[in-house]
Structure 1
Amino acid sequence: MFRSLLVTNLRSLKSPLVKSVTKTNQISSIRNFSSSIINYHGHIHKPKPGEELHITFITKEGEQLTYDVAEGDSVLDIAQAHNLDMEGACGGSCACSTCHVIVDPDFYDAIPEPEDDENDMLDLAFGLTETSRLGCQVKMSKEIDGVRVALPAMTRNVSSSDFS
């Protein structure tokens, strides 16, 4: 039963995964299966030549990783597209704090102020600082080209089951 459900679910996807599943009642092979395809994950856009913006992530281990990104992409989407350790449990809907980042103070004031929903979620974030933001709410723009964001040592995933 699981296999037939898997085949049905994979056939309903409109992605390259469908090409790797045979059209029988059983799966003869699934090649290069991934639960999220890096090229499609997070809906990031490839920057146009000459219009690249830059972002540097500082990992928990202190490694600095710089990427060329497009205007309008969120910090969460960029991190997930590059397989960085940022959960984004709510899918970027500002309903958790697992995409918490610490923004370089030199760039913090250039980012639009957080709305009430974001501030409410930030109150739940582990290791909150004066320059903390949710990655799902920070969109890349020319004003923050070159921004540096640090990933906190850990995140707190609070769900409704925690309050049962």
Structure 2
Amino acid sequence: MSVLLTDADTTVAAGRRLADLLRAGDLVVLTGGLGAGKTTFTRGLGEGLGVRGAVTSPTFVIARVHPSLVGGPELVHVDAYRLGGAAELDDLDLDSELDEAVTVVEWGAGLAEGLADERLEITLVADPETESRTLTATGVGARWADVDVESHLQEAPDAGPDATDDEGGVP
């Protein structure tokens, strides 16, 4: 399934919505070229999970751990771009935290699949002419077999300013 994200704000919002589906032990493998929105999407995941600290690219530190501020799982954010292979990823000892955290591995295709049999693989492809990007999500394993990822990634239709119920709230 694929979703069109029109700009950075919609990319962050899609990450926030996807966070509702994530739980401790989930592995998300992000793939996409430079500037495709991997870190932007992860920032939204972090916001949705309610973690501490600004989610920024961990390119130079390789991995960052963002503890939960709301009693949920922490976010382990990994950038595998500079890693030389699966052995270097294994050296990070991610599997020791995998059960307690949501782990996101940018540039993880071809490296991170060995961390878990069940994972969510997300590919972001940027349109060089616009700020838009296409997000494709594929669930791997029993964990994702019956999960409707697409509906969580889709932007909720704007009800408009006049769409309120009798109590002044949104219907």
Common fold: TM-score over 0.5:
no
Task: Report which of the two has the higher share of strand.
Answer: 2
Q: Give the number of the structure whose alpha-carbon radius of gyration is greater.
A: 1
How does the TM-score come out when normalised to structure 1? 0.28
How does the TM-score come out when normalised to structure 2? 0.27
